[in-house]
Structures are given as C-alpha cells and as structure tokens.
Amino acid sequence: MTDGTYNYAYLDEQTKRMIRRAILKAVAVPGYQVPFGGREMPLPYGWGTGGIQVTAAIIGRDDTLKVIDQGADDTTNAVSIRRFFAKVAEVATTTRTEEATVIQTRHRVPETPLSEGQILVFQVPIPEPLRMLEPRETETRTLHALSEYGVMQVSLYESIARHGRISKGYNYPVMVNGRYIMSPSPIPKFDNPKLDRSPALQLYGAGREKRIYAVPPYTPVKSLDFDDHPFEIETWEQCCELCGSKESFLDEMIVDDDGKRLFVCSDTDYCERRRTLPEAAE
Amino acid sequence: MYVAVKGGETAIAHSLDLLADKRRGDRDVAELSLEQIDQQLGLAVDRVMTEGSCYDRSLAALAIKQARGDLIEAIFLLRAYRTTLPRFGDSLPLDTSAMVAERRISSTFKDVPGGQVLGPTYDYTHRLLDFSLATEGDRPAAPTAPADTNRTLPRVGDILEREGMLEPPPLDEASEDLTRQPLTLPASRPVRLQNLARGDEGFLLALGYSTQRGYGNNHPFVGEIRYGQVPVSFVPEELGFAIEIAEIDVTECDMVNQFAGSHDVPPQFTRGYGLAFGHSERKAMAMALVDRALRAEELSESATSPAQDEEFVLAHSDNVEASGFVQHLKLPHYVDFQSELVVVRALRAEVEARRQQAALDQAAE
Amino acid sequence: MTDLSTLGPGLADPSHDAQQLFRAILDATSHPGRIVSLPAAPAGPGMLSAAAAAYLLTLADGDTPVWLAEPFDRPEVVNFLRFHAGAPIVTQRAQATFGVVAATTPTPFDDFNLGTDAYPDRSATLIVDVPNLTGGPTRRWRGPGIDGHADVAIAGLADAFWHDWATNHALFPCGVDIVFTAGAELCALPRSIAVES
C-alpha cells in the first residue's frame, strides 16, 4: 500500500522473517507441519489467512499472481484475495496458469501442468491429516514423530470393509517422500496425482491452526492405498459442455427446476484457453 | 448459465456498498458518534478491548460502529488493526493493589480493610425496563465521595496468603506472547491466562458455569473483585528505569478455591485468576473459574471435565478463529461436494447392482 | 557501543531487498545443489562473504540467536549483525538458530540444536562459508527438490565434513540444514538430502 499506513504486502518485516524461516524449515522437512506465529489478517480465519500469510511473505513486485478458488479465478473469495494483493503488494495479476509465478489456491490444482520456478500456495483449513481420527494435537504430534500411522491405515481399511472401496473424495491423505502423512488440503483426489514429483514448489498455509508445510519440487507424493484397492481418481461419463474436455475435473450445475444437469470445467482458465485456442483443445 | 460464478468483482463491490448503506440506517436518525459509543455503550467497548487485546477506547468504539454493534466482528476489526502495530516491549506487571478502585467487593469476609465498595453495578437493579430511558432527558448526576487516590487497597488474597491459608501467586514465569508465537501444549499458566483473557466471554461463561454444576467443581469463593484505574509502567531500554505510560481501567477477580492438599502440601486454598480491560466482571469471574479448572493436573486432581481439558479449552476459546471457521462454510465448496457426489453415486450404483444381482439369483432358483 | 563509522551498509531497501533475497534463498533451498546468485547482497563484514551476510540480514533478527565460528567472531561481524539484524550473538552453539562456520571449522556440526522428533523444525541452520561453490570434488546429491540427482562440487571441505553430513542426514527428520556461501552465491543442503561420496 502506498499511503504509508501498512507495510509492503501488509505484514511487517519481522513477521515476514518469521514466516520465511518457517517456510525454509518446511521445505527442509517435506510434509512436516511447522508451527508458526500466525497473525490476525484482515480477512476472516477459514477464508485463506494461512495462504495469504505465505503469499505475503514470499511475494514481490516482480511476481505475477494468480488466485483461484474451486479452480475458478472469478469466485468471490478468489476475487477478494487477488484484489487484496494487487492493493497491498502492487503486484501484477493474471488468470493464465502458465504466466503466474505464484498461484494461491483453494481446493484445486490447475489442470495446466505447472513448471519449474512456479510456486503453488494452498489455503489449508485443517492441516493435520490425522485430526478426524485423533482430535488431540498432543497425540497426533507423537504419531508423526514416531511415524506411527496405523490409525490411518485402519481408517482406510474400515472404509473398504464397509463400502468396498475407499470412500474419500477430497482431502485424500498422501505420504510425502516416504516419511510424513500429509493433508493435501481439500482438493479433490482427482488432483492428487498432480502433486507427485511436481516441478513446482508447493507451500501450504493454515492460518487459524498456525501451521506451514511444504513439498519441494520433484518430491514423491503417494496417495495412500492398498495393493488390492489401488488409489483411483474421479471420472465422468460427460465431457465439458463448453470446451469438450474429457480430461478435466467437472463441476456439475443444476440448470432448471427439473434438476437437469450440465457439466463444465472447474478450471476456468483451462476451459477458456481450450475454447479460444482451438489447438489447445487437441 | 455460467453467470452464477461470473462477475464476482462487481457483485462484491455492490455488496460492500449495500453494507455501508445498511450500517448508516435511516438518514433521518442522527449518526452515532464515537464519543456516544464510548460513553453510553461503555461495557461493549470494554468487551471489545478485552477480547481484541488492545486498550484503546476510541478505536474500539470505531470498531463497534463499523461492525453495527456486532461485537465479535468489532473484536476482529480491532485485532486485525492491532496486529499491524509495532511493538515496543513488555510493560511491567500491573500492581492492582495500587488501583484507584471504583468498586471492590469480597464475598469471603463480612468486612475487609478498605471496606466493601459497591460502586456502579447491575447486581441490585431490578430488571424492569426503565421506560423513562426511552426518551431523552436530563439525568441527575450521582453524588460521589472524592476518590482517595493515596490509599492503597490491600488485596484480600494477600491477607489470607500471609496466614498460609492461600497459596502464594506463582513466581514470575518468562512471558510469552500468543499473538506472536503459536500455542504449544502443554501451555504455561501465563500463556493459558493470555488465551483466556482473549477468549470469548460466552465460551468461558459456559465453561465456568459447567464447573459449578459438577463438571470439574473446585468450590469457588469470590475472594475479591475490584474494578478501577491502575497505572501502566514500562522500562525503555535507553532509560533503564520505569516510567508511567498510561492509566487503564481493569477488572480483577481473585477466586479462592478449596484444595484438599496432597502428600507433600497441607490443605490450603488455591487461586483462580481473571483480569479484563474495563468493567467486565462476568468475564473476569468466568476466566478465574476456568483458570482454576485448568490447574487440575498441577494440583493432582483428576481432570475429566471439559473445563479441565487444556487442549479443548485453549483451542476453542477464540471467537475470531471460531467465527471465521464456522462461517467459512459459506464459501463455495462445490468442487469438494462434486467429489462426494461422484463417490456416493458410485457407492449407490454398487449397492443397486448387488441388489439386482440378488434378485436375478433368487428368480433363477 | 557500536562504532558506526566502521560499520558497512546493510540492505539498501530492507523490505524489497529482503524479499528478493528470500526468493533466491527459497529457490536454492527447494532445489538443493543449485547455485543461486544473490541480488542486492551488501559486502560482508570482516571475513564473512556477501552471501552469508545477505542470508543473515534476510532471516536473522532479535528472535534468532547467531553463533559465529572463530574467523567470524570479530567485532566488525558482531557489530554488523547486531546493528543491521538486531540478532543476539551467543557463545554456545546449542542456543543458536543460525551458526556461521568456515569450511575449515573443526567438528562443524557438533552441539548445534538438531530439533526433536516432535519438533524437527527447531533445529539450527548452518551457514558454511566456503572458498568456492564449484571446483571441489564432485559429489552426487539426491533427495527432495532434486530431479534425479545433482552433481555438486563445493570446494574447501574435508572428507570428514561429508562423513558428518551422512550422520546428520541419517537423523532425519531431525538434523541441521546447511547453506553454503561463497562470494555473492549460495547453495543449500537441507537435511533431507543424501550425499554420495
């Protein structure tokens, strides 16, 4: 902000240093949740304050920022966060995945493959993958320390016993570099394979829970499964009504009172590119 | 049909305009001034300062005005401003025995040195709506004795303590700051107290109440509640001695609780402590009850009730965090929901297929 | 009292320079073995390289005690870090968030905070100031951030250093992290990286 009321990128320099140190430790121990002194942000907890703090600590005037929510650049929360950074960090913004140096996201990984040098910042509501199995932080911390993940295996197995399959659609747990079980944030499991050995750096920020974690580029990220029940992603019989894609994650919309459904790409940039550039649709 | 998710920017701008309009309300009604809020809605200002962790009456009044009286929203506004302020350091601990008390009561003794001072309290009002307040009018000033600023008011707890009947206050523990460091468990008592001081009054009230109903009872008595003005002192690095930088209003509650004693410690009374900005007795008392409940482990009591569960209490006391996370459910979740739809449809299809197969098998028999 | 007349300048534009430096450091840390040039690195005080000084100005402050090995434990370095970063200088390695050692510092890893299994993030980071980031014996690095392997040839380090590193790496998730600095260049070696001799 240029009126001198707030520091560049909103956070004061000492807070940025604290977050930067946490980010470096997070990169050094992939998948481990680093506690950090999360600050109150001018946006509500649960609305991306962790992602915003991470972005504020890394972003500079040379960056080009893309913000998505549910894969779309124009959902209200994405608009609000993009406006915030355009204002406080004087940063260029884009909707094009390949033009962005920093992409802040809620609930999706872009369909367009990311490249080396890009940073993907995830907004995380509950960073602890074991939280719904064990609500106590004191317990889950010990389980991570001991690499004692039986409780997660049992939970997935119970799902198979009950439903014949792992009935988890989003926030599907992953194992990072063979050591830490990690919450990929509430992305659909459709996006999990994109995390594996991605050339981009993944940073995860949980503001209310005050945790930062990371997956460095080219790091193995395995979705948990069993030999006889391998991990699989969502598929649709339909293709995108707008661009015809059969490969992208589709949003289902109810378009009339009789409940007629229409399917379109969740990633608005990917969909628009396919429509405007016919060769992209090939 | 794609309109539903397009045009977010314009929609947000219009929503903000509508909100500002709604905040002002009927233009024929005079606009509230910050002074009016400070003077006539002073207890709301006190709560916002307490849970906002920022002692500034006019900023709190502004936050209340901007939030249209939604105090949790006002607390959030004040916190988000506070977090951007530079920090100069820690003040010295307040000396509440030097308080110029407007109110001071003890329920453990009929009389105490300095006397029982009722001061302004709702305690003895009959909760009858005063319809004379519905119209503006002259309100006569209350007769008051001149405040005795030279007199120190010994704390009731200190008197009991000299006798060995009440545990001494804890030794100074290194101060931490929850607004700069993440909570780590188990937490020290200063950290717990900071968390409770910032915690939601309603949440602490319910927890404190639960201890009285048997969920972690510790037989509380109000050793003392005092409300009044205390000086704040600070030692600047470059000076090396304390200077007084402000006077603030605080409410302090020293709750005295039974303690059966243990192997090494003879029975004595123990303390639960509460402190709030301004005049906030309900908050200070609830805080003191919960503080004492959270000491269960330290005092070798069995910790089986919610109010005694440190992680449960400290993780859920903050209304800005809670309000944000509850209300974030309003954000679009349609991608995750789509994921769930795909899973549930697949599961239903499998069940249906099994049923049809079973029907076929039965028909074939 | 700090003698300001002999004090070199810190970051010219503290907010934006620190941001650019941090991104270069983050790039290096997330691509172990990659040599990054630090933009806007001021000259280091005394024997300290510009890159080591820039690293500390970017990340150290009053909350992060710094321990200095012998060639750096001099008034010009101490004053520089105290004045520009506000960092406390400590005499015990175990207290340090950042340790600054030279390629020739004996037992460079000993006594630094390794973190715990519950809190591995609490370990120290060592800044190892070396003569050169290239030209030494080539070693093969593997691990998170590296696509396959990286061949790195840090100069000036004894074999014992890499023996100690193997021990440190084996402590994962505990262990110290390293940044090698020389001139205005930096190369990171997080604890997650295995180094083949």
From CA B346, how far away is CA A234, in angstroms rounded?
A: 10
Is the pLDDT score of A169 beyond 70? yes
Domains located in chain A, CATH noted: 13-127+171-221 (3.40.50.11310), 235-282 (no CATH)
In a domain, C2, yes or no: no
Q: What is the CATH number of the domain that holds C181?
A: 3.40.50.11310
Residues C101-136: tens digit of each pLDDT: 999 999 999 999 999 999 999 999 999 999 999 999
Write out the residue range of the structural domain in which residue C154 sits. 12-191
Contact assessment for residue B311 and residue B185, using Cβ atoms and an 8 Å cutoff:
yes
Residues B328-354: tens digit of each pLDDT: 999 999 999 999 999 899 889 988 999
In a domain, C46, yes or no: yes
Residues A171-183: tens digit of each pLDDT: 999 999 999 999 9
From CA B159, how far away is CA B165, in angstroms rounded?
A: 9
Count of pairs with CB atoms under 8 A, one residue in A, one in B: 148
Q: Which of the residues of A are catalytic?
A: 31, 240, 243, 265, 271
Q: Which residue has the higher pLDDT, A161 or C36?
A: C36
C89 min Cα distance to partner chain A (Å): 18
In a domain, C85, yes or no: yes
Of A69, A74, A211, the CB nearest to B6: A74
From CA B323, how far away is CA A45, in angstroms rounded?
A: 8
Contact assessment for residue B271 and residue B292, using Cβ atoms and an 8 Å cutoff:
yes
pLDDT band at C31 (very low <50, low <70, confident <90, very high): very high
Residues B81-125: tens digit of each pLDDT: 999 888 888 899 999 988 999 999 999 988 888 889 999 999 999
| Concatenated DSSP letters of B149-177 | TT-----HHHHHHHTTSBPPPPPP-----
The distance in angstroms from the start CA to the end CA of chain B is 52
Question: Which chains have at least 3 CB atom pairs separated by less than 8 Å from chain A?
Answer: B, C
The Cβ of residue A73 has, within 10 Å, a number of other Cβ atoms equal to 22
Residue appearing with tokens 């198979």: A160
From CA B349, how far away is CA C4, in angstroms rounded?
A: 77
Please tell me the predicted confidence (pLDDT) of residue A2: 41
Please tell me the predicted confidence (pLDDT) of residue B261: 74
From CA C156, how far away is CA A155, in angstroms rounded?
A: 51
- pLDDT tens, chain B, 365 aa long: 333 345 677 888 899 999 999 999 999 999 999 999 999 999 999 999 999 999 999 999 999 999 999 999 999 999 999 998 888 888 999 999 889 999 999 999 888 888 899 999 999 999 999 999 999 889 999 887 776 666 678 888 888 888 888 988 877 677 789 998 999 999 999 999 999 999 999 999 999 999 999 999 888 999 999 999 999 999 987 788 999 999 999 999 999 998 777 777 788 899 999 999 999 999 999 999 999 999 999 888 889 999 999 999 999 999 999 999 999 999 999 999 999 999 899 889 988 999 999 999 988 87
Please tell me the predicted confidence (pLDDT) of residue A4: 52
A39 min Cα distance to partner chain B (Å): 7
Of B5, B180, B343, the CB nearest to A72: B5
Residues B290-305: tens digit of each pLDDT: 999 999 998 888 899 9
| Predicted ipTM of the assembly | 0.97
From CA A114, how far away is CA A128, in angstroms rounded?
A: 26
pLDDT band at A280 (very low <50, low <70, confident <90, very high): low
Cα dist. B218→A179, B284, C94, C129, C135 in Å?
45, 17, 43, 59, 71
From CA C129, how far away is CA C179, in angstroms rounded?
A: 8
Neighboring chain A residues of C26 at a CB cutoff of 8 Å: 20, 23-24, 27, 58, 201
Contacts of B345 (CB under 8 A, 6+ apart): none
Give rounded-to-5 percent helix, strand, coil for chain A. 30, 20, 50
Contact assessment for residue A184 and residue A171, using Cβ atoms and an 8 Å cutoff:
yes
Please tell me the predicted confidence (pLDDT) of residue C4: 65
Neighboring chain C residues of A216 at a CB cutoff of 8 Å: 29-31, 144-145, 192
Please tell me the predicted confidence (pLDDT) of residue B175: 75
Q: Which residue has the higher pLDDT, B1 or A221?
A: A221
Please tell me the predicted confidence (pLDDT) of residue C2: 53
Contact assessment for residue B281 and residue B205, using Cβ atoms and an 8 Å cutoff:
no
